[in-house]
Amino acid sequence: MAATKVLIAFYSRNGSTEGLAKAIAEGAEIEGAEVRLRRAREIVPADVMAKAPGWTEKAAEMNAKYAAPTAEDAEWADAIVFGTPTRFGSVTSELKAYIDSLGGLWFQGKLNGKVGSVFGSTSSMHGGNESTLLSLYNPMAHLGLIIVPLGYADPILFHAGTPYGATHVSLQDTIAPSAKELEVARFQGRRVATVARRLAIGAETFSN
């Protein structure tokens, strides 16, 4: 059987969401999945980015490491994991622009039945991680993705993360994801890859 294909499409400005994305990739790879890590690109003009110290430089640094996510990536994937920092309790415009670009695939029904999952980062403890993750459940439902939450399916969920997906609280971008938060993210990668593989086995079994 071919390796399970996992697309991790994230936006990150200061590295927190990127850290979770890499741990999710590790988890998926532990389960034998092939992973594409992709960073959504900025949608504001360069002069706007220049007003926020470090934004231009950090974006260039991350863009050198990760290609931009494309519709082809989403079509390729068996599972799509979206990651975003919180913006006023919801998804970033940058990641949403990528999701909106999937309209053509949605129209053709090509995303139906793929696995979908989400993760994210806020600055403050109650700054909107859960509302952000839940806000992404809406487009995932419209796209026809089979949403895979974490629940409390691993004991680490009693110590970090949320039942909706892996999270980090960056305290105004002063701290990186902790060992426990990264463990949740690795669990998410393993879980997503495992569910996607089981769905593929089921599809092979019942298509005949």
Ligand X SMILES: Cc1cc2nc3c(=O)[nH]c(=O)nc-3n(C[C@H](O)[C@H](O)[C@H](O)COP(=O)(O)O)c2cc1C
Residue ranges in contact with ligand X by CB under 6 A: 12-18, 85-89, 121-124, 127-128, 170, 173
CA distance 202 to 205: 5
CA distance 188 to 169: 17
Q: What are phi and psi of 199, to 5 degrees?
A: -65, -40
- Cβ closest to ligand X, residue 27 vs residue 85: 85
CA distance 31 to 106: 28
Which residues does 134 contact at the CB level (< 8 Å), separation at least 6? 164
Amino acid (1-letter code) at residue 202: G
Residue number with the smallest Cβ distance to ligand X: 127
Minimum separation from the CB atom of position 127 to ligand X (A) = 2
Minimum separation from the CB atom of position 184 to ligand X (A) = 15
Minimum separation from the CB atom of position 11 to ligand X (A) = 7
Minimum separation from the CB atom of position 121 to ligand X (A) = 4
